[in-house]
Amino acid sequence: MFFLMVAGAGAGSTTCHVAAHALASPVAAVFFASAVCTLALAVLLGSMRLRPPWWCACAVCEAYLTASWTGEFDNLCDWFAHLLRREPGRTVHVHVLGNVLTANPATVEHMLRGRFDNYPKGAPFSAILADFLGRGIFNVDGDSWLFQRKLAAAELASPAIRAFTASVVASELRCRLIPLLHSASAEQGGQEKLLDLQDVFRRFAFDCICKISFGLDPGCLELSLPMSAFADAFDTASMLSARRATAPMHVVWKLKRLLNIGDERELRDAIGLVDDLAAEVIRQRRKLGSATASGDDLLSRFMGSINDDKYLRDIVVSFLLAGRDTVASALTAFFLLLSDHPHVADAIRDEVSRVTAGGRDVDDHPAIASSENLKDMHYVHAALYECMRLFPPVQFDSKFAAGEDTLPDGTPVAKGTRVTYHAYAMGRMESVWGPDCAEFRPERWLRDSQFVPESPYRYPVFQGGVRVCIGKELAIMEMKAAIVAVVQGFDIETVGRSSRRPKFAPGLTATFAGGVPVKVRRRARARG
């Protein structure tokens, strides 16, 4: 490697001469660009082996860069939880990432409330997701963030949107999800079918959020059809955008994007498909003119305040990301836990029967619970919150310090440092949840059979303070409705998977690697 660097330094004129010839034809230019990229990466790797002054040789950074942590842990999030448990202040600094990680509720409150202005998302975070989310609410700060938040909060709180969302979810459950599970539970030649529950819930959530956001029905839950090109492109864009954040040096993915090679080329193609469909939907709505103002979906409502179609695209795609991936992740984790804890399913059925008086529909199927009934199901609410304590859909959230600071545990933070609160690790901290923190115990959320929430800084699944999730109530309604409908009618048994040792795939939200195969068994009508 030393000889490569010396040769490169001493042959400047030759390199320029070769470059001039290489750029003479498009094909040669591509080969030349690839060679330059390869050489740059070789020099980078060589410098890492030589350990220049910026290299950090602490045990944490060594383990991260060499991936030696994989010998003991299946997931990076589990290794981080292990590191945070060992620290008295529940805070650790991963120097090579420029990242301070914390599982300390006092620090979470400091970031989200006490020093909110000092911890925006920041330019580095926005750069990672800019191609995918653009200027959407999850990727901006300041006035743009405040404008979108006020606009979205007003719409999501409106009775019309709440009623529309409830009707979309009920229709998707009644007409698609429940019939699909009935079909999967039927025996074919004495053999039960295996169903990937994660795939099913991703399709269910995508259908719901597309109807709510765009007024568009992609029909993903029709398993006889392949996943729509739009949904597939959306998955790819989400996964590859998240992969950017794991690179110790962002110059690597930025160089690949500049040269349009590898992951970055695939990401560009995926985002192009998302952009094309979003643009077409918006264009068709514009054709309808003032008629769109009477629409129930979010796009129709936002059009009354926003004339910039690219801005509309960014806002609605952000809602798609939040409304699909988080809901699907939480529901998948819920039924994975339920398979390991059947007594919780029994307790849910008892509550549902009590609240709905054992309601059945005209076909003798369990009725879809109304919004009012769902509000009275405190045990279901507690079980859902307990699931997200152990398996938060968004495992961690990062901000970038706008100025120097000192965290409540005494950790100094330099300007520009990435500070991350790790919700996944927090759910596994004895210092936060007690010695039974690893147990799935919905009762911890109940007082006299009533659901009682915890501080959002102990439980930052929906963030907290000024940034608390504005779609929280609608998401909880959707998830509770799905849980009640499925648990009433079916027993779900996972095959070869356990909540006790999950394996995650990379992504912006928690996704189980390899899916969650299950057997579905239809329940006989409960006796009176």
Which tokens go with 442?
């919905």
Q: How far apart are CA 104 and CA 73, in angstroms?
A: 22
With contact defined as beta carbons under 8 Å apart, do 96 and 57 qualify?
no
Give the whole-angstrom CA distance, residue 390 versus residue 399. 22
Question: Residue 70's CB: how many other CB atoms inside 10 A?
Answer: 12
CA atoms within 13 A on the CB side of 242: 18
Contacts of 517 (CB under 8 A, 6+ apart): 194, 195, 196, 197, 494, 495, 496, 497
- The Cα–Cα gap between 180 and 222 comes to 8
Which has the closest alpha carbon to 411: 100, 153, 196?
100
d(CA 103, CA 426): 5
**Known binder of ligand: residue 469?**
yes
Three-class SS state of 365: coil
Which residues lie across from 519 on neighbouring strands? 194, 493
Give the pairing type, strands 418-421 and 397-400.
Answer: antiparallel
CB atoms under 10 Å from CB of 224, counted, come to 6
**Buried residues in 395-424 as b, exposed as e (16+ CB within 10 A):** bbbbbbbeeebebbeebebeeebbbbbbbb
CA torsion sign, 66 to 70 to 75 to 78? negative
Say if CB 129 and CB 139 are below 8 A apart: yes
Q: Residues 326, 394: contact at Cβ < 8 Å?
A: yes
Place of tokens 């529901």: 331
Binding-site residue set: 469
Binding-site residue set for heme: 469
